[in-house]
Amino acid sequence: MVGTREDVRGTAGAAPALDVERVRADFPLLARTVRGKPLVYLDNAATTQKPRVVIETLLRYYEYGNANIHRGVHLLSQTATEQYERARRTVQRLFNAERPHEVIFTRGTTEAINLVAASFGRRFVGAGDEIVLTEMEHHSNIVPWQMLCEQVGARIRVAPIDDRGALQMDAFEVLLNERTRLVSVVHVSNALGTVNPIARICELAHAAGAKVMVDGAQAAPHLQPDVRALGCDFYALSGHKLFGPTGIGALWGREELLDAMPPWQGGGDMIEQVTFERTTYNTLPAKFEAGTPHIAGAIGLGTAIEFVESIGYPAIAAHEQDLIAFATTAIGEVPGVRITGTAPGKASVLSFVMQDVHPHDIGTILDSEGVAIRTGHHCCQPLMRRLGVPATARASFALYNTRAEVDAFIRALGKVREVMS
d(CA 298, CA 104): 10
**Helices vs. strands in the chain: H and E counts, helices first:** 14, 17
Residue 181 backbone class (left: φ over 0; alpha: ψ -120 to 50; beta: rest): alpha
d(CA 40, CA 25): 14
Question: What is the bridge-based pairing of β-strands 279-281 and 337-340?
Answer: unpaired
DSSP state, 402? -
Amino acid letter for position 49 = Q
Amino acid letter for position 283 = T
d(CA 80, CA 285): 17
d(CA 283, CA 70): 14
Residue 341 backbone class (left: φ over 0; alpha: ψ -120 to 50; beta: rest): left
Burial of 404 (0-12, 13-18, 19+ CB in 10 A): exposed
* CA 207 from centre of chain: 26
Alpha carbons within 13 angstroms on the beta-carbon side of residue 251 total: 29
Q: What is the DSSP string of 175-195?
A: H--TTEEEEEEESB-TTT--B
CA angle 346, 352, 358 (to 5 degrees): 160
Domains of the chain: 20-50+312-420 (3.90.1150.10), 54-309 (3.40.640.10)
DSSP β-bridge partners for residue 195:
188
Q: What is the DSSP string of 317-375?
A: HHHHHHHHHHHHHHHTTSTTEEEE---TT--SEEEEEETTB-HHHHHHHHHHTTEE-EE
Give pLDDT tens digits along the chain (421 positions).
Answer: 333 323 433 334 466 789 999 999 999 999 999 999 999 999 999 999 999 999 999 999 999 999 999 989 999 999 999 999 999 999 999 999 999 999 999 999 999 999 999 999 999 999 999 999 999 999 999 999 999 999 999 999 999 999 999 999 999 999 999 999 999 999 999 999 999 999 999 999 999 999 999 999 999 999 999 999 999 999 999 999 999 999 999 999 999 999 999 999 999 999 999 999 999 999 999 999 999 999 999 999 999 999 999 999 999 999 999 999 999 999 999 999 999 999 999 999 999 999 999 999 999 999 999 999 999 999 999 999 999 999 999 999 999 999 999 999 999 999 998 999 7
Question: Do 279 and 271 touch, CB atoms closer than 8 A?
Answer: yes
H-helix or E-strand spanning residue 396: strand 392-396
H-helix or E-strand spanning residue 258: helix 255-260
DSSP state, 34? E
Nearest to 246 by CA among 379, 109, 144: 109
Q: Active-site positions? A: 379
DSSP β-bridge partners for residue 134:
159
Amino acid letter for position 294 = H
Which three-class secondary structure state does DSSP give residue 316? helix
Question: What is the bridge-based pairing of β-strands 211-215 and 234-238?
Answer: parallel
pLDDT, one tens digit per residue, over 303-359 is 999 999 999 999 999 999 999 999 999 999 999 999 999 999 999 999 999 999 999
DSSP β-bridge partners for residue 395:
350
Q: Where are the beta strands (DSSP E) in 107-160?
A: 130-134, 155-159
Helix axes 403-420, 313-331, angle to 10 degrees: 30
The separation between the first and the last C-alpha atoms of the chain, rounded to the nearest angstrom, is 34
Q: What is the DSSP string of 190-254?
A: TTT--B--HHHHHHHHHHTT-EEEEE-TTTTTTS---HHHHT-SEEEEEGGGTTS-TT-EEEEE-
d(CA 223, CA 316): 8
Question: Do 1 and 321 touch, CB atoms closer than 8 A?
Answer: yes
Question: Do 119 and 257 touch, CB atoms closer than 8 A?
Answer: no
pLDDT, one tens digit per residue, over 76-94 is 999 999 999 999 999 999 9
